[in-house]
A and B are shown apart, each in its own frame.
Chain A
Amino acid sequence: MQETPLTVPPVPPPLQADPPGAHQRKGAVEGSATWSLADRIGLAICWALGLFFCAIAIAIVVYLMIQGIKFLRPEMLWTPAAAGFSESETGGFSDALFGTMIVATLGIALALPTGIAIAVWLVEYGRPAALARITESTIEAIAGIPSIVLALFGTVIFSSSALGFLSRSTEGIVFGRSFFAAGTMLSLVALPLIVASVREGLNSIPRHVREASYAVGKTKAATTRRILLPTCRPQVATGAMLGLGRIIGDTAIIVVLLGATQNFAPVEGAAFPFDYLRGAGTTLTNFVYEASPTGNLNQPQKAYAAAFVLLLMVLALNAAVDVVHRRARKVGTWSH
């Protein structure tokens, strides 16, 4: 298709003094030269703030990269932390790295199905309406609770003797700190983000698309499974990514509910994965805190190295979500 040039009346000469560069502008585009002073100042502020935040983000990434590359040694990734007198004796942070992966897996495995289910129920069913409203407010309330409060609440729950099988317990006293406990509470941190994202995705599907599926004799369940959820894949991915980001970035719940030991502390006598999952441990965020000058270890170089690994994980998540979005764009969408 050939593009027809738009006929736009030429920009009228500015009333005030010409801003520099106004005469060199080619083509009849709307220029800010014709705007009122307040609008021009507003635009300038937007530009300045945008550039400022870009600069901050770039500075963080670049600084961490430089520090990370300088201090990160590959063996840190597979050497657990150890007690020692010199840098070379204290090992790396493999336990923290695996700890992060474990809480992320546990947390998202709980939060993603629950979050999708809640979003589908809210958008597609939502009856009785009062229950839907209560659910909505509850999710919003959870989103607003600081994670340290969730952590405290978690200690109450997971120290109860009924849940003793989820953590270390000796002679009726339940320790209440384990990967299970931390993962469960962290899933609550991720849940509101997943619900919000999936809801947004479901709401963006036009009503007539659902009706087209009902109109060929499909049930609501079949429509949800085969049409609505596949369409929402990008939003599910976004929600999962945001949730994972919050989970691996959380420190409060780790300190309170995971024990924040420097190494894995598996429960003796339990079968393989459960001995670790019922035991205490640590994550990268906690390691960074401990290794920073305020922490007990005070090894800033290792803190930088661990922070760099954390950053890489988040960037990898971002890239993965980008791939899902790009694939969805290839499938196309409805005109509204």
Chain B
Amino acid sequence: MEPLISPPPIRRLPLEDPEPAKEATEQLKPSGDGPHQSGFTTAKRSVGAPQFSIRRMEIDEVSVHYGAKEAVKRVSLPVRQGEVLALIGPSGCGKTTLLRSLNRLTELTTSARLTGRILLDDVDITEIEPTLLRRRVTMVFQQPNPFPMSVFDNIAYVLREQGSRRARKKTLEPAVHSALDRAGLLEEVKDNLDHPALKLSGGQQQRLCIARALAAEPEVLLLDEPCSALDPKSTQVIEDLIVKLRDDVAVVIVTHNLQQAYRIADHVAFMYLGDLVEYNSATALFGSPREQRTKEYVSGAFG
């Protein structure tokens, strides 16, 4: 069978940055919040070094097969609270599949088969009941997808027991407000919580989705290209938010946007055709990549 993803043509270009290591050390300092410039070498990291980091999840030799196709090949990675982990790589490299396997969403695809272990606080996630696991490891998707109900009900749905309508509006109000506040949306919507969620702007919708994911009080937050459908302004708001969240929850973000990974991630994993090519701190991976393929990808040679 012909492989679904053929390797992209690799153009060998010299790296533009002659002194990557020096610049990397400079960028470790928390930089001023100037406008993000375009062009990778001029991008600024918007965050400083993490205050702390606690290992929450452990991806151990995980492979995922879709039928005969191996989408993820024996990947091992740590996921830490206090840090943002970014998964980068060209389309079809298995990063979204890996992300989805962290809260067992891959199991919804009948052809998917997972081998290896994923641990959450040293417990194998296959031993955790899926609905409980997915409350501890919540996810935000590429397309903003609020439910077709009011802003308030979107959050309240998560807080309530399964399909129940119990827990009156009044008793849920503090929790709803706090979730919206953590997602930085409260100021904009607090006067009109009955507004239909799907009539918000794209950026607001995505922040509502983050608020919804946070309302479950998760320990790990998975973000699957959360900004790819948004404009630059909304993207920046959400990036700032993600950085703010990293102390409370372990954040894993899949992104196609290398500048974004560089701006907000503490650790970056570069995947290519299902392989984990390189895993390192953001400054090291972008500044002085060890692998040739990483070097070519982050310099924009392919992908």
Q: Give me the interface of A with B, judged by CB distance under 8 Å.
A: 206, 208-209, 211-219, 221-222, 225-227, 230-231, 328, 330-336
Contact = CB atoms under 8 A, between A and B. Distances in A.
Interface in B94-149: 103, 105, 108, 131-135, 138-139, 141-145, 147-149
Interface residues of B, number: 34
Given A208-B142, A221-B162, A226-B163, A215 B148 contact: no
Contact of B216 (A206, A216, A231, A332): A216
Contacts of A333: 148, 198
A209 to B, nearest CB: 5
Nearest to A129: B110
Contacts of A335: 143-144, 202, 229
A208 B147 contact: no
Given A212-B141, A332-B198, A221 B148 contact: no
A216 B135 CA distance: 5
Given A215-B134, A218-B162, A227 B147 contact: yes
Which of A206, A212, A215, A216 has its CB near the most chain B CB atoms (within 10 A)? A215
Nearest to B158: A216
Nearest to B150: A331
Contact of A217 (B134, B142, B148): B134
Contact of A230 (B141, B148, B213): B148
Contact of B143 (A208, A218, A219, A331): A208
A interface secondary structure, majority: helix
Contacts of B132: 217
A251 to B, nearest CB: 40
Contact of A212 (B145, B163, B196): B145
B145 A332 contact: no
Given A211-B105, A213-B147, A216-B134, A332 B163 contact: no
A209 B105 CA distance: 13
B210 to A, nearest CB: 11
B117 to A, nearest CB: 21
Interface in B200-226: 202, 209, 212-213, 215-216, 222
24 contacts: A208-B141, A208-B143, A212-B139, A212-B209, A213-B147, A215-B103, A215-B105, A215-B222, A216-B138, A217-B132, A217-B134, A217-B135, A218-B157, A218-B162, A221-B163, A222-B162, A225-B163, A226-B147, A226-B157, A230-B149, A231-B148, A331-B148, A331-B198, A332-B197
Given A212-B209, A216-B158, A334 B134 contact: no
A184 B35 CA distance: 69
Nearest to B153: A226
B244 interface: no
Nearest to B132: A217
A302 to B, nearest CB: 47
Contacts of A226: 147, 157, 163
